[in-house]
Amino acid sequence: MALVISAVVGAAVFGYAPRADAHPHVWATVRSEIVFSPDHAITGIRHAWTFDEFYTAMAVQGLDADGDGVYSKEELDPLAKVNIDSLEEFDYFTFVRLAGDDSFLPLEPPVDYSVEYDGTVLTLHFTLPLKTPLDPRRKDVSIDVYDPSFFVAFGFAEKVPVKVAGTPPEGCAAAVDKPDPESAEAAKALTEAFFSQLGPNSSYGSQFAQTMHVKCSTQ
């Protein structure tokens, strides 16, 4: 009896404890560009993530080294480098898949990164190259942006959350997915999400995934 109850309690804790960060502490507003090469392949994703005021205050604190009240490029560059370097461990919070495929496509370390501070909020810019360029005409491409631990809450910008850059193939467009709780896919996500919460590899945050698609009309 005692053992059974403690086992149940223990199991509950097993699922519970790893989710210690399961309420967001950082909020980021996502705007993304899908970058196409001249030969119409997707070469990467260019992100602009704008952080909330609290995180911004924390991040820029103490960076105004000369104390002139201006955060110069030289003063902010180390911040960008630290952010970008530590993003690797977290898969850049960006998960690229072909439609109907479960495996994520490999990404290269970011290039062209910088942070921008307007006195209120901080925006991190970086370009995330795909290891192998993708032709979206063969299969739709989906890109999820989320933090599995939900420490950072990523959300799309209200206006123009995603657009294309470079030379996309004729008839191809990028758009964000509106989550539909009624869909069959969502019902499947329920069971998965529910059980994944009980495991040590909890990905609570995936329920908050911000999904964008690159789709091409076939005619």
Partner 1 sequence: MILAELVTRCRSVLCLAAGLAIVAFAMLLLAASASAQTKPPSAFGPPSQQQTAPPSFAGPKTMPPKTVQPTAAPLRAKGPFGSVLSWVAQTQQKMQRQLAGAVKSLKGGNALGAALFLAGLSFAYGVVHAVGPGHGKAIISSYVVANEETVRRGILISFLAAGLQALTAVALVGLLLVALNATGFQVNAWTNQLETVSYAMIALVGLYLLVTELVRLWRRWRGPQDAAHKHAHHHHDHDERDHHHYAAHHHAAHHHDDGEACNHMVDARDIAGPLSWRKVAAVVVSVGIRPCSGAILVLVFALTQGLFWAGVAATFAMAFGTAITVAVLATLALGSRELMLRLGGGNQRWAEAVWTTCAIGGALVVLMAGLLLFAASLGPARPF
- C-beta atoms surrounding 75 within 10 Å: 17
Contact between 69 and partner 1 by CB under 8 A: the answer reads no
Cβ contacts of 71 within 8 Å, gap of 6 or more: 60, 63, 64, 117
Q: Give 135 or 189: the residue with its C-beta nearer to partner 1.
A: 189
Contact between 184 and partner 1 by CB under 8 A: the answer reads no
Q: How far is the CB of 63 from partner 1 (least distance, A)?
A: 6
193-216: buried (b, 16+ CB within 10 Å) or exposed (e) per residue? eeebbeeeebbbbbbbbbbbbbbb
Contact between 60 and partner 1 by CB under 8 A: the answer reads yes
Residue list 87-146, contact with partner 1 (CB under 8 A): 87, 89-90, 112, 114, 116, 118, 120-121, 123, 125-127
d(CA 213, CA 22): 27
- Residue from the set 77, 135, 139, 155 that interacts with partner 1 by CB under 8 A: 155
Stretch that binds partner 1, among 18-26, 96-104, 135-143, 167-175 (CB under 8 A): 18-26
Stretch that binds partner 1, among 50-58, 99-107, 128-136, 167-175 (CB under 8 A): 50-58
- Residue from the set 200, 201, 217, 219 that interacts with partner 1 by CB under 8 A: 200
Contact between 173 and partner 1 by CB under 8 A: the answer reads no
Contacts 24+ apart (CB under 8 A), 168-172: 168/34, 168/36, 168/40, 168/136, 168/214, 169/36, 169/40, 169/135, 169/136, 169/137, 169/216, 171/216, 171/217, 171/218, 171/219, 172/40, 172/136, 172/137, 172/214, 172/215, 172/216, 172/217
- Residue from the set 36, 42, 50, 212 that interacts with partner 1 by CB under 8 A: 50
Contact between 83 and partner 1 by CB under 8 A: the answer reads yes
By CB under 8 A, the count of residues binding partner 1 is 81
- Residue from the set 43, 94, 208, 216 that interacts with partner 1 by CB under 8 A: 208
